[in-house]
Amino acid sequence: MSELGVRIGGNIRTYRRANRMTLSELAERINKSKATVGKYEQGAIALDMDTLYEIAAALRVSPFQLMVSLTPEKKEAGELRTSGERRYMYLYDGRASRIVRSLLILAREESDDAVTLFYDIPSFSEPHRCRALYYGKRQKHDFVTNYLLENQSNGVEHAFLCVMRSLDRPSESTGLISGISSRMLLPASAKCIVSGEILPEGEELVESLLLTKEDIRLTRRCNMFIVEQANY
């Protein structure tokens, strides 16, 4: 088994599970047997480029994502936070027509600015099943809080989250999260809401996460991606 083959196979397994897809379902999509796909994931069979592209398309990722290392670098003990002050982040993915929920874990001590972001989780009780894990720092100011974050899956992507404090809703903030789209491998920004409490994921929240006509008007006029405070 080659090192590259084992890496690609492991990535196929990771993205297949992230898409909640079985071996049989992936095999059916690329017209291969379940046993063959299993060997791909084990790195026991070398992949030709055509099959690599077919698998990438089925998993909705780029072929490049299947080849890069997804193994996080070893971090110092205590850097990954699983307890602390919680912030609940929501954005709307128009490609999949769904709310993307994420969890920010902040230090309780004012002197500690470390933060962990569990991005795209099935539920707030299962942050370990996140689609991407970020470590970073928080910079808190009077009316805005910035989060500088590094994706631990590849060490390449850095995300920037900027949220504005709401005067009428102190526990909620509207902001932008910017980084590289994992599906398109292009720079992207998304409107988001960060809350101190879990919000009901209904039509009202979806409406608050969608770009408004005013957001689009400001973006076109200024040639910058600008969003206003959501009225949730």
Regarding whether 102 and 43 lie in a shared domain, the answer is no
Provide the terminal-to-terminal Cα distance of the chain, rounded to the nearest Å. Answer: 53
Question: Any idea what the CATH number is for the domain that residue 50 is in?
Answer: 1.10.260.40
Domain boundary among 17, 36, 67: 67
pLDDT of res. 172: 81
Regarding whether 92 and 183 lie in a shared domain, the answer is yes
pLDDT (tens, 9 = 90+) of the chain, 232 residues, equals 678 888 889 889 988 887 889 999 999 999 999 999 999 999 998 888 899 999 999 998 878 778 876 554 444 433 455 568 899 999 999 988 999 999 999 977 766 789 999 999 999 988 888 888 899 999 988 888 999 998 876 666 789 999 987 655 667 889 999 988 766 667 889 999 999 999 999 999 999 999 989 989 999 999 988 877 665 5
Regarding whether 115 and 18 lie in a shared domain, the answer is no
> For the chain, how long is the longest CA-to-CA vector?
60
Q: How far apart are CA 133 and CA 116, in angstroms?
A: 8
Regarding whether 146 and 191 lie in a shared domain, the answer is yes
Q: How far apart are CA 197 and CA 203, in angstroms?
A: 18
Identify the domain containing residue 33 by its residue range.
3-67
State the Cα angle at 120 between 152 and 59, rounded to 5°: 85
